[in-house]
A and B are shown apart, each in its own frame.
Chain A
């Protein structure tokens, strides 16, 4: 399975530069670069899908399509590193350990949720397995190229993340079936058992490959196990982890667990209690993934606290605002504005929470998340500052190609009532 996935990624890598890129220049807008301040009355040039120039007084190369965005705001395309859009299925809720599941095999590029999300300036999402299982499936990071081929959506070369989930969801699901895990102890056991097994599996294969390489004859290869193949990739750091953990004790637990097995934990999702252990998260370099002000919708979410973002910010935790739903995924910029309501975090840092920070949590910080020369031409255009909550997205551009145009798709623009 792992090899097949890599083959697909290789195909994409070869196909990517030539198929869908376009040249485009946006002229006259206020550019929120995220990494290099705000440029008034600036220009962004995209060639071959990459940003080739950002700034004032930029000479636009001849023959390039120019869009006048005078009076508008330009920012990097919004990134949602915890989404479930574009999937035909979300939870393989039949066993607490299902790492054999690869979410790109549920990816439906023509899904309406992708189209509706584009209207919110979103260009990249990590669309994920659900939280039914302690070890779920492998998530897939995609660009929202609505209705194209699967290969055109998956970002080439990106290290994908395996979904893990702790707490109430696996407990409730399997507990209600009279199965284990039905407690947090059970969750911990299930995860530990799977990774111990994976280590043994990896050792067997490593030995076999070593023996084979040294020319030994009459070797019998160990039995293939698709679940173990994926976990072996995690142990080899070909995959990383995104773990759903609400409570502070679980956050600390999974950080220690990943240290114990020497595996890479990138993001903690729905990290409601993150602020309580902000120092520990910062030290481990784990991204906070979560909402701004949701709280109390279940027991483990009771201590949700929007002011807590200030603690995390001051402690040095990188914060990512996620939607977890096709609803809020369409207006993450409005969620970012609420950060300013509850904390003294600066505007640009709030914008980072939906751009550069999620880009980094996806290990794509050098390719997306800010408007810089050499980065992908992923752009969202707004009619007002994106942190003004009466703003709306006017245009969403992926690698120089327009995927959403307000004037074409809006009923408000048409003045229609039905």
Chain B
């Protein structure tokens, strides 16, 4: 008898397994309010996912054979949120596990891609909050910090998670050193000028050598005199920045560093992005005119004594009004902040203080996607885009809204994390102990 039960069970498990596998490619979300962010909402709509992409959006979509159907009646379907300036994947465990911020004032060659740990617990915790794509940086404490990478929060290997590499170089305009150069804001600026000048020189020399090498090769000179330029990895990492190929995120702290950043962008014709946490409104008109995207990390910051209490709360509304492309950055406690899932709080506060909900949602989805150069792939619900989708019980700007379903690259994500496991474990322990006492 036991054997028969085992056999039936095995068959059932195998069948279920195959079924899940077959269904993972095709998912139909039915009867939800579809909020695509770009374009209007559909109040009772369907969204079909096939082969990792969004293949259809509309009403009464017929379920393809074998499709997994998710009933989203009364629920809201949003694109996965996109978080900028995170350390997801490189923070590791507290203490020895942290791989952000290599030592050195100039480390542009550091690449977080080399340290992505797919088992970072922060990945699961973050995606359960509806964040499906993150921008992970190498650090923020040095003047020139390094490269950055965009990850989808799904996949067991770093390579499977990577959506885009060499997204932007990270520079901190306020990373003053202690007891060594550069220890002042002007010091930081001239340090940068030196590095950028060297990089331009390096690029020029390299292209001359390359050209010469080419010429010599065409001459078929057997005694090839054009030895390749001695490689300098630091300079190699800066060349795409000074030639305007790779964007650069300039971290600022105040109006002084914002002005310096704007000047450096102009002077070196950088593809600049300003990350600001205060003082941005003074330069908003110039930023709008010069068409520079902003990563706004200051919503929860405290204005200065003489400033109104809601200056920071209201800033996003002004950025939107001036048609500046901006994204929310949770800010919080900086790069080591593991609470990336909390980005909607900045949006909530901004909506309370003048930003429209529509613009707030854009600043959590399509705007960061545009800033990171991945707007063709994610950031909105559109046919052909990667299926990064979350089903919510309400708007993300409502603190109480829950995320019930997360789909990344068309894969249904198990709704478990370190924290759900801790909850299950200790619920049992605590209540069993209470029972015994009774």
Contact = CB atoms under 8 A, between A and B. Distances in A.
A278 B302 contact: no
A11 interface: no
B399 A306 contact: no
A293 B423 CA distance: 13
Nearest to A414: B308
9 contacts: A295-B419, A296-B121, A305-B422, A330-B309, A389-B352, A389-B398, A390-B397, A412-B310, A412-B313
A150 interface: no
A32 to B, nearest CB: 16
Contacts of B430: 275-279, 311, 315
Contacts, number: 142
B270 to A, nearest CB: 26
Contacts of A199: none
Nearest to A326: B302
Interface in A297-330: 297-299, 301-308, 310-311, 314-315, 326-328, 330
Contacts of A337: 398-400
Given A305-B423, A387-B400, 10 more contacts: A279-B430, A279-B433, A295-B125, A311-B431, A315-B434, A327-B302, A334-B348, A388-B398, A389-B397, A390-B352
The 3 closest A-B pairs by CB, nearest first: A337-B399, A296-B338, A340-B400
Contacts of B336: 297
B399 A341 contact: yes
How would you classify the secondary structure of chain B's contact residues: helix, strand, loop or mixed? Answer: helix
A296 B313 CA distance: 26
Interface of B: 91, 93-95, 121-122, 125, 281-282, 284, 300-305, 308-311, 313-314, 317-318, 321, 333, 336-339, 341-342, 345, 348-349, 351-354, 357, 397-402, 418-420, 422-423, 426-427, 429-431, 433-434, 437
Nearest to A340: B400
A388 B430 CA distance: 32
A279 B429 CA distance: 10
A197 interface: no
Nearest to A317: B430
A328 B331 CA distance: 13
Interface stretch (A95-103, A111-119, A129-137, A212-220): A111-119
Given A334-B349, A390-B352, A412-B313, A295 B402 contact: no
A417 B281 contact: yes
B289 to A, nearest CB: 15
Contacts of A417: 281, 284, 318, 321
A301 B333 CA distance: 14
A193 interface: no
Contacts of B338: 295-297
Contacts of B397: 389-390
Given A298-B94, A308-B422, A334-B399, A392 B352 contact: yes
Nearest to B398: A389
Nearest to A315: B430
A409 interface: yes
A337 B303 CA distance: 24
A307 B420 contact: yes
Contact of A338 (B122, B300, B400): B400
B426 A311 contact: yes
Contacts of B402: 341
A389 B400 contact: yes
A182 to B, nearest CB: 16
B302 A340 contact: no
A4 interface: no
Contacts of B91: 296
A418 interface: yes
Contacts of A278: 426, 430
A327 B427 contact: no
A119 B93 CA distance: 37
How many interface residues does chain A have, given as a range? 35 or more
Contacts of A276: 422, 426, 429-430
Contact of A116 (B302, B318, B433, B434): B302
Interface in A395-418: 409-412, 417-418
Contacts of A335: 399
B333 to A, nearest CB: 6
A88 interface: no
A107 to B, nearest CB: 17
A415 to B, nearest CB: 9
A390 B433 contact: no
Given A296-B122, A390-B348, A412 B353 contact: yes
B436 to A, nearest CB: 10
Nearest to B424: A307
Given A334-B399, A337-B400, A417-B281, A299 B95 contact: yes
Contacts of A391: 352
Most chain-B CB neighbours within 10 Å: which of A314, A338, A391? A338
Contact of A279 (B93, B122, B345, B434): B434
A253 interface: no
Interface string A244-286: 0000000000000000000000000000000111110000000
A104 interface: no
Nearest to B353: A412
Interface in A124-169: none
A294 interface: yes
A306 B419 contact: yes
A299 B96 CA distance: 10
Contact of B310 (A301, A307, A411): A411
A331 interface: yes
A86 to B, nearest CB: 13
Contact of A411 (B308, B398, B399): B308
Contact of B419 (A305, A314, A327): A305
A418 B282 contact: yes
B429 A334 contact: no
Contacts of A392: 310, 352-353
